[in-house]
Amino acid sequence: MALPPLVEPAAELTVDEIRRYSRHLIIPDVGMDGQKRLKNSKVLVVGAGGLGSPALLYLAAAGVGTLGIVDFDTVDESNLQRQIIHGVSDIDRPKAESAAASIAEVNPLVNVVIHNTALDVDNVKEIFSQYDLIVDGTDNFATRYMVNDAAVLLGKPYVWGSIYRFDGQASVFWEEHGPCYRCLYPEPPPPGMVPSCAEGGVLGVLCASIGSIQVNEAIKLLTGIGEPLVGRLMVYDALEMEYRKIKVRKDPNCALCGDNPTVTDLLEDYEDFCGAVSAEAEEATLNATITARELKDWQDSGKDLFLVDVREPAEWEINRIPGATLIPKGEILSGEALSRFPQDRQIVLHCKSGVRSAEALAALKAAGFKDAVHVQGGIVSWVNTVDPSQPSY
């Protein structure tokens, strides 16, 4: 459905702006009025990563007057495969600052506001209140639910996107005109069910595909043209080159925007709501967790270990801890690989960061391997503290 423009037009465009945006101005649906609305718009992009990179660049190029960037992370070499707003010279630089510098090169007429901080329940409302529209480029469920809840509570529309390997999704959530994110996903997935991009990977160019959809939706909302993806979920399969749309209806039983809401303010702890690890995994790791340095000490002392890497084969090809055996987590959880575990050796599990190994540890302990342990921080900790010669990812 068509919606009214989100913002009023600015008083005028300068001669420089008319030259810069001439290709917009000659589009009848945009024209002078639409470009003035973009100039008068204030848009916040949450995250200057995979989705935030193309979103920020195209929002700036389009002439959005004020662009906010909220990101507390720094640029890492592994980001450069997809986070095109950053370059080699930006490594170790705060992402928000790096992104702002790139925007200035693309369009110095844009006012950039840097929020070099972690978005949390204490600051999200105050930050969001400064903007007309939110573009969500986050990559974890805790922040997604917090962004949704804050947007609904403040009456702000926001454009959402998600990417994983070759698949992407995008939609527009605006409680005043349609469903919110909780209508689509009332509960977060079980811990460990959906790997992050850092664990499962993502095709770099997929970020541009979904990020550009997000900008397209933002422009439509700001200027009041076309039909935004309110009440519709766009699903993209890059391998099959297929787009499809799924209707998303407002849920009358939604905990946030339904007829009788039970969530009337921000939650105290979104990490707890989403659960980084399951309760079983958290219990299993009690008194069964060692550090990477302790693992190295065990190896050096000749302790009889059965060291198991529970990552996927593609990750195993990147780096590995000497002496480890690859048994992917899924084979442990299904019970398929339990017969490979010895009863008379010290079992040590590890993954990339410690989340998957904790889930696998819970399955092993339930199967009777009571003395099994896992490595806190996984191979990331091993590379950082024991063997920095190995590549990270």
Q: How far lies 285's CA from each of 280, 282, 289, 290, in Å? A: 9, 5, 6, 9
- Write 292-295 long-range contacts (CB < 8 A, 24+): 292/375, 292/376, 292/377, 292/381, 292/382, 292/384, 292/385, 292/386, 293/385, 293/386, 295/321, 295/348, 295/350, 295/375, 295/382, 295/386
Helices (H), 84-136: 95-106, 124-128
Give the CB-side neighbour count of residue 121, counting CA atoms within 13 A: 11
Residue 155: Cβ-neighbour burial (10 angstroms; 0-12, 13-18, 19+) = exposed
What are phi and psi for residue 177, nearest 5 degrees? -120, -5
Cβ atoms of residues 247 and 235 within 8 Å: no
Altogether, the residues listed in the chain come to a count of 393
274 is catalytic: no
Active-site residue flag, 257: no
Selecting among 180, 197, 254, 274, the annotated active-site residue is: 197
> Are 36 and 13 contacting, i.e. CB atoms less than 8 angstroms apart?
yes
Q: How far apart are CA 274 and CA 34, in angstroms?
A: 40
Q: Within 13 Å of residue 349, how many CA atoms lie on the same side as its CB?
A: 32
Catalytic-role residue among 180, 183, 257, 351: 351
Q: Catalytic positions, please?
A: 197, 351
